[in-house]
Structure 1
């Protein structure tokens, strides 16, 4: 496999893992904030689409032409790329991400791995290559895939990188509950040291 193909396959694998986390959930579950900072599944997809369009678009001199009003329009709320508004449908956000993937593939096909780019928000270290950008996007995508995995598990217990592959020991609900109790008991032994 060529180096560009390897990098793209890792990026695509992360994308697939993130999108799988949406499957079978209600609109409520896709949008509901599951952490104190508001992390939600649909917002993670919107964020990753935005990031990918930026890095493999403007940074590499290949703007996608896709409007990203949450970045471009004044008066947007903080972190507007991390949640879907009531007017943004699940289908729109998923297609935005799929479109970002198509744009990314076209950018990678058009450029050499040592093609230069510029990340203005990185300051002095903003001069990059396509190779650096791809590695950054792979890390970013897989980081957020992990977030999505935890959020999805909190919603309905589904875990893993793809359907049928959870990468976890085969325990039934009682087995997981027992393991949870055992881990909590271990943690309790250290509670007094935390104060």
Structure 2
């Protein structure tokens, strides 16, 4: 059975998100498992951790579109913040292949939602947190735009981290 034709908006969302995912993934080309865990700048960022973070963010926001603020349980408590920080680290036993596979799974889930969600205007209330306006709601469209921005921002971070490892650039 042929895949249904996507609206121009959904096709644009998919294409843009996939492009920025490529830029992020491309920063790991030809690296070893050890290199993806290197902190090559003064920050805590490493390439594997950035990809893990973006995968986790995609999963959380896709869950938010589907179930609302319960997708972010205890978002401001200490344990949740510690768990969030661990997403930026490569844990023992994690490899480049495993990190990318996890990212691919999250990306597939997001892409499937973009293709099948009945209405991009579907909105949910944001969880209560100091970084969200009280009573704010985001539509699925707004969440997807946020994912594109987040992925692009972290692809830029990854490019800097990669360049500091071995001089390779993802773009330019």
TM over 0.5: yes
Q: Distance in 2 between matches of 1:31 and 1:136?
A: 26
Aligned partner of 1:61 in structure 2 is 66
Aligned partner of 1:108 in structure 2 is 114
Q: Aligned match of 1:129 in 115, 126, 139?
A: 139
Once the two structures are superposed, what CA deviation does each residue of 1:94-124 show, in whole Å capped at 9, x if it has no partner? 1111011100011112222211134314352
Q: Distance in 2 between matches of 1:9 and 1:78?
A: 28
> Following TM superposition, where does structure 1 have runs of at least 4 consecutive aligned residues deviating by more than 6 angstroms?
none
| Partner SS state of residue 128, structure 1 | strand
| TM-score between the two structures when normalised by the length of structure 1 | 0.71
Q: Aligned match of 2:168 in 158, 166, 188?
A: 158
Give the total of aligned pairs: 154
Partners of 1:60 and 1:118 within 8 A in 2: no
Matches within 5 A, 1:1-195: 2-57=8-63, 59-61=64-66, 79-111=85-117, 112-120=119-127, 121=129, 122=132, 124=134, 126-160=136-170, 166-167=171-172
Partners of 1:4 and 1:108 within 8 A in 2: yes
Q: Which runs of 5+ in 2 are unaligned?
A: 1-6, 69-78
Return the offset for 1:37: 2.8
Return the offset for 1:78: 6.6
Aligned partner of 2:71 in structure 1 is none
| Partner SS state of residue 65, structure 2 | coil
Partners of 2:120 and 2:140 within 8 A in 1: yes
Q: Distance in 1 between matches of 2:143 and 2:42?
A: 30
Q: Distance in 1 between matches of 2:102 and 2:53?
A: 10
| Partner SS state of residue 138, structure 2 | strand
**Greater CA radius of gyration, 1 or 2?**
1
